[in-house]
Amino acid sequence: MDIKYRLYPYPVLASFNDDYNSSKFHVNAECVLDGFDICINYSVELENDQIRELIAKGKACIVFHLESARTGYREARETDKLNGKIVIKDSVLNGDLSFCPFIIAKENIPGYFNNDFNEDYTEPFNFEKGYLIAIGNQMVWPITKNNIDLLNSSSPFKIGLNPDETISNMVVDFESQPKIRILLSAKDLSCYINMKNTPELKSILNSAVVVPALMYVLSELKQCEDMETAFGSLSWYLSIKESYLKNFKKDITVDLANENVFELAQKMLKTPINDAFEDLTTLGGHGDDEEDDDNEI
C-alpha cells in the first residue's frame, strides 16, 4: 500500500497538506533482523494534544499498515503506544517491506474540532469510524534473507542411541564431538524414528528434543571462559557461531554473556515451540471456553 497525496473532505494531519497549522505526526522506525524474525522498532512523534487525548481515551488509535507485495503479505497492526516493536516472521516476507503509519478513528466522533485546524476550517466535523485522522511518513525496506537454519541437512545435531541401557533420560554430548550428539534410550529413539518424517510432528519433536539440547549447549558456552580455545575446532561450534553472526549480527564470543539462552535457543531454531502449539491444535487440541483464573496446569 502506498500513501497517496490526495485531498480529503475533512481535515487530515499530514506533511503534504496544511489542514493543521503547527501539529506533527512522524514515525521514526528501523527494520532489523532478529534470527528468523523481522523486527521494526518504532517511535512516534505526535504533537497535538487533542489527538493524543483521542488515543488515550480509546477513540482513536495508531495503525501501521505492513505489506510485502511479492509474497502477498498484508497486515494492519493497531496500537495506542508511541514507542514499541513489531515482530514479523521472515517466512512471510520477500523483497520490499512497506511500512505506512496512520491514526484512525476507532468509533464515531461527532462534533470534532481541533484547536490547531487551519483557519479555513471553522466548523466541527463528524468523524465516522475508520476515518483517517493523521497520515505519517511511509518507509520501504528491502528484506534480504541469508539466514542459516540449524535444522537443515547440515545441522550440527545428531540424534542417536545411548549405548548405556541404564540411562533412560536424554543425554547431550558435545565436548570433543564434531556434532552435538543427542542420545536417547532405545525406546525413545524408536519412537523418534517412527515420527520424525511426519510433517505435523516435526516442530513438536524439535521442541521436545533439539531445543533443550541447544539450551544446554548455549548455557555451557556462556560459562566457558575461552570458548574459542575449548571448541573452536569443532564443526558444531562453527555452525552455531556462524548462525549467531548471520542471523543476529552478533559475535558469540562477545555477546552470548548477555543473552537469555532459553529465548535464544528458540530463535536460533526458528521458534519451533510456537509451531508445535499450532500443530498440536491441528492434531486435535482445543481450548476451553472457561479459563482458570491463574491459568495453572
Residues of the chain with pLDDT under 50: 290-291, 295, 297
**Model pTM greater than 0.85?**
no
Rg, the chain, Cα only: 26
pLDDT at 188: 95
Task: Report the number of secondary-structure helices (H) and strands (E) in the chain.
Answer: 9, 13
Give the burial string for 210-223 (b: 16+ CB within 10 Å, else e). bbebbbbbbebbee
Query: In angstroms, what CA-CA distances link 113 with 20, 37, 54, 228?
Result: 11, 42, 12, 65
How far apart (Å, rounded) are the C-alpha atoms in residues 141 and 66? 11
Sign of CA dihedral 75, 274, 87, 82: positive
How far apart (Å, rounded) are the C-alpha atoms in residues 220 and 230? 11
pLDDT at 1: 54
Query: In angstroms, what CA-CA distances link 223 with 95, 218, 256, 268?
Result: 39, 9, 10, 19
Place of cell 552470548: 256
Dig out the grid coordinates for 253 from the structure: 564470543
What are 144-148's contacts with CB under 8 Å, separation 24+?
A: 145/90, 145/93, 145/94, 146/246, 147/33, 147/35, 147/36, 147/90, 147/243, 147/246, 147/247, 148/239, 148/242, 148/243, 148/246, 148/247
Contacts of 177 (CB under 8 A, 6+ apart): 234, 236
pLDDT at 297: 40
Instruction: Tell me phi and psi for residue 94, to 5 degrees.
Output: -165, 140
How far apart (Å, rounded) are the C-alpha atoms in residues 23 and 28? 16
Q: Which CATH class is domain 24-143?
A: mainly beta
Return the domain boundaries, the chain. 24-143, 157-282
Query: In angstroms, what CA-CA distances link 120 with 6, 109, 168?
Result: 18, 20, 80
Q: How far does the chain reach from its first CA to its final CA, in angstroms?
A: 44
Per-residue model confidence as pLDDT tens digits over 138-150:
999 998 777 788 8
How far apart (Å, rounded) are the C-alpha atoms in residues 85 and 41? 5
Contacts of 129 (CB under 8 A, 6+ apart): 105, 106, 107, 108
